[in-house]
Amino acid sequence: MASSLFDINDIAGLDRVGYLFGHPISHSLSPIFHRTIFDALDLKWSQKYLESLDMQQFLKLTREPLFFGASVTMPHKLAILPHLDELTPEARDVGACNTLFVRERNGKRIYLGTNTDVVGIKLAFYENVSSPDDTFHNRPGLVVGGGGAARSAVYALRKFMQTTDIYIVNRDKSEVDAVIQWCTERGYGENLVHVDTVERAHTLKGPGAIVSCVPDFPPKTREEKTARKVIELMLEKEHKGAILEMCYHPKPWTEIAGIADKEGWQVILGTEAMIWQGLEQSRYWREEDVPVSVIDKVKGVIATELNGMRKYGLAPSSTKTPATVVTANISTHEEITPVVESSVNIAKA
């Protein structure tokens, strides 16, 4: 049965409305994030929580005249694809859509999907690492995990971050095999290496960039314990790089983040990737960059949320917040244009 955290029909006085569509989503900072942008720009726009498993309910809402787009999260990132008219190369190659946006073409509304997670990963590193050349350029990368987020991480490391080999560490070999096959079939799977034993990890050059895409649970099974030992060995190697911990719920400072910090790695919180992918979402919806002054306000909001987590012991007091780390203007980066390709087997609601 579908459910929503807020009254999705409460749109009186709004010029445009969008949604965060997923389940569960009560922990998400997305509506707060985008509300900050809309309010700062004096826009009568809003993003509503739609905590639901009902795809048809969501598709019906997208047909409303005021709809501007949506953040799409689990478990719908794959399920939404057949219902879109077109996909950007990022969504097509990663095989997941986290952002729905609309365009008018020949008097008809077109529904498009993209994946801004890859941009979030990229900019989380480039906005926080002072010397990418010394830290991760022309060095191996490492991805922890074997799902859709892992594909996004491989894409970002391969397409944007000048990595050489990309190691994949995960408890489930079949998931790794699926990631490697997927990426290879789409042209960015070269030099992917499944590091499945401690012995193999000993023989490999240390990575410069790590993206951890797994929940913050202590290892219990033999496979999970092996994966953790491999990660620890990689972190112990002589070269110390930067690690992006994508997990920030229920707390942004995870066991892996703590181990990396103790070994001398620069730890980048998952809220960093969330900020930059969210700014990219706003650019697709509004078709213009977010002004620097507004970006600063957004950072402040996220910093406040992190400070609240610290109050209850959910984040380390020494961790830098996005408000103090992220300073550059998103518009200083190369333009990422929404070049789209038609998807197949389009299903209409």
State the catalytic residues.
77
**180 phi, psi to nearest 5 deg:** -65, -45
Which two three-digit tokens encode residue 15? 């010029």
* Cβ neighbour number for residue 349 with a 10 Å cutoff: 13
Which helix (H) or strand (E) segment is 113 a member of? Answer: strand 108-114
CA-CA-CA-CA torsion sign (275, 280, 284, 289): positive
Helices (H), the chain: 30-40, 55-62, 89-94, 117-126, 132-135, 148-160, 173-185, 198-202, 222-236, 255-262, 270-286, 292-311, 322-325
Tokens of 140: 């191996």
CB neighbour list of residue 311: distance below 8 Å, 6 or more residues apart: none
Instruction: Give Cα separations from 248 to 9, 209, 251 (angstroms).
Output: 30, 18, 5
Asked if residues 118 and 97 have their Cβ atoms less than 8 Å apart, the reply is: no
Tokens of 177: 């095999």
Of 285, 229, 239, nearest to 98 (Cα)? 285
Which residues are paired to 100 by β-bridges? 70, 113
Residue among 281, 295, 287 nearest 323 (CA): 295
